[in-house]
Amino acid sequence: MHIGDKDIGYFPAALFSNLPTADKVGWGGFTVTPTNALSPPMGSGHFPNDDFINGCYFIHVTFQNESRKDYGPVTDYVEEYNDAGSDCYGVEYYGDQRGDVGYSLQFGGPGGDCEN
């Protein structure tokens, strides 16, 4: 794993039994709460709002091929998934916004009664 041109971590292939055949990657978050309790806020408690100030976010999301060439997620194959209900949390993928955020997504929200 690296940020910019600096390596910040290493994940050996032995940790991932399907690494050579992986065809999906996921980013996001989750909350844990006791049964019958309200779900807690995720991140700052704000829904995604595309200004990258209040919500949880991932920016400059890219993949590398065997030649270490970066490329971004193909929008046609991106799936936004929220199993808690839109009143509690939200998720937004913005594609390539260039500049300060590049390929980016946001998620989070106030939590609450997420049973729907």
- At 48-75, the pLDDT tens digits run 887 888 778 888 888 777 787 888 787 7
DSSP secondary structure code for residue 95 in this structure: E
| pLDDT given at position 22 | 63
Asked whether 95 and 102 are in contact (CB, 8 A), the reply is no
Domain boundaries, the chain: 25-116
* Per-residue pLDDT tens digits for 20-55: 666 677 777 788 888 888 889 988 888 888 788 877
CA distance 107 to 91: 4
Neighbours of 42 (CB within 10 A): 23
